[in-house]
Amino acid sequence: MSITRSIVTNTATRFIAELINRLGAAVFWIVVARYLGASGLGSLAFALSLFSLFETIATMGLGSVVARDAARNPSSTRRSFGQSMLLGLASSIVCILLMVGLTALLSPSKETFFAASIMAVSILPASGFYWSRTVLWSAEKMGYIAIARTAENAFKVAVGLAVLLAGMGLREVVLVLALSKVISFVICFAAAVYQVAAPDWRIHLATIKYLLNQAPSFSLIAVFNALFWSVSVILLTKLAGEAEAGIFGAAYKLVDIWLSFAFAYGQALFPIASRASITDPQLFQRLCKKSMKYVSLMTLAIAAGTSMLAHKLIPVFYGDAMLEAAPVLMALVWILVPFAIVPVLAYSLVSHSLQRFDLAANVVATVIVTGASLFLIPPFGAKGAAIALLLGCVGFFAVEFFSVERALFRIRISWKYLKPIVGAAIMSCAVFILRDNNFILATIVGGAIYLLFLWQTKVISKSEIHSMAFENSS
């Protein structure tokens, strides 16, 4: 199988499964928004943002280390699996206490505090899922991860909707979310044990020492990355209230579907890029450059089209009561353009053990989004949070980009890269004209115009597609 076909297959497997899951979850969040209102949705957004932050802290960011080492030396998997699970157990307990303490310090409403406390306990099964997923990832058995995630979301959607339709409230919904984390952990752990290796529970000081030595850089990357994605919601809840956080959360849920593509692609590329960085540096460069090009072409079209259709999409998904989320979506969707390239650049650096540059990018991006949020949220609310996150994504991309240029290879930028922007502008005009008639037709026509423009201007060529399809690793 060619490298391109392998990457496309692995990306598609994860993304399609994630897309199905997220579409199901979108139904869940739509019903949550309708039944619990902006305040209830804001409480959940706050709790899930803190959960995401502390779950990441609990894993210490060592998933990439374990996956990389296990892929290169499968005989070490059993030991790494066991020791990472033990470390994860200890760190999860600490993070549960810290999350509950931070929630109390921020003094949200009683309902929000309850939601955050329950999600704090969910860090334990979520950590177990993370390490089980890492082992499956290293063995390129991504399908089992998709199964576990699908089961988690199926339970969340089915039971969550039943709870809401039965007239129950926020507390019951949070309990459903917590139980869904247990389900994904059980399935993923069983798959890792039976398909890859059972964890070695005996304490191996050398392995623990190695992981702890790797932990500082990767932990900081994980912490700042989690802060980057959660700080705007946390500050929005604190400075503007749960209702504004709910409006932001409604828009973010639609953008998050496409962010999952960027992460899926980066994960599919990582093991191949890691091997190529050692065996064939030229192949590594070609993979990275082509990845950046085609991911950019895709996300530029998605951002432009969604921005034009925002006032149509929000009522379809959430009803007219959430129409305030439309301008938030118009700004927020543009984070796709700079950020979709970030996983490619970040994994390129990590594959060369240059994670210090990735750490710098996470720190700079977090500082930008925090400062911009403090400045923009008081006067603009959810719209200010969206703009702050966009500025942070631009900073994220800039640091990663120039780090790759400095440490790995040069990325030439020429005027030809303006062609896709022109194509996206033409597409946006067509979508804008047709949006009041039928937004689905507007999407199809706009997409066709964009692809035709790229083909006619030779941004995409037949020879390039052919060469990619048959490129193999050395």
Tell me: the pLDDT tens digits for 81-128?
888 899 889 889 999 999 988 888 876 678 788 888 899 999 999 999
Last residue of a domain, one of 396, 412, 428: 412
pLDDT of 389 reads: 94
Residue with tokens 């070609």: 286
Indicate whether 44 and 62 sit together in one domain.
Answer: yes
Q: Which position has the higher pLDDT, 461 or 171? A: 171
Indicate whether 291 and 440 sit together in one domain.
Answer: no
Residue 296 has which token pair? 């950019």
Of 228-237, 273-282, 283-292, 342-351, least confident by mean pLDDT is 273-282
Contacts of 412 (CB under 8 A, 6+ apart): none
What is the chain's percent helix, strand, coil content, to nearest 5? Answer: 90, 0, 10
**Percent of the chain, pLDDT > 90?**
19
Indicate whether 460 and 402 sit together in one domain.
Answer: no
Q: Most confidently modeled of 69-78, 149-158, 376-385, 419-428?
A: 376-385
Q: How many structural domains does the chain have?
A: 2
Q: State the pLDDT confidence band at 470, using cuts at 50, 70 and 90.
A: very low
Indicate whether 424 and 329 sit together in one domain.
Answer: no
Q: Is pLDDT of 5 > 70? A: no
- Interhelix angle 342-351/242-279, rounded to 10 degrees, is 40
**C-alpha R_g of the chain:** 22
Whether 255 contacts 46, CB under 8 Å: no
Q: Is pLDDT of 190 > 80? A: yes
Residue 279 has which token pair? 């065996």
Of 7-21, 114-128, 178-192, 342-356, least confident by mean pLDDT is 7-21
Whether 250 contacts 233, CB under 8 Å: no
Name the residue range of residue 469's domain: 418-474
Indicate whether 332 and 263 sit together in one domain.
Answer: yes
pLDDT of 463 reads: 59
Cα distances (angstroms) measured from residue 428 to each of 12, 423, 425: 27, 9, 5
Residue 237 has which token pair? 């809840």
Q: Most confidently modeled of 62-76, 165-179, 446-460?
A: 165-179
Over residues 305-325, the mean pLDDT reads 83
Contacts of 140 (CB under 8 A, 6+ apart): 10, 71, 271
Indicate whether 159 and 187 sit together in one domain.
Answer: yes
Quote the CA–CA distance of 354 and 141 in Å, as a whole number: 26
Indicate whether 203 and 220 sit together in one domain.
Answer: yes
Indicate whether 159 and 56 sit together in one domain.
Answer: yes
Quote the CA–CA distance of 422 and 440 in Å, as a whole number: 22
Q: Is pLDDT of 469 > 70? A: no
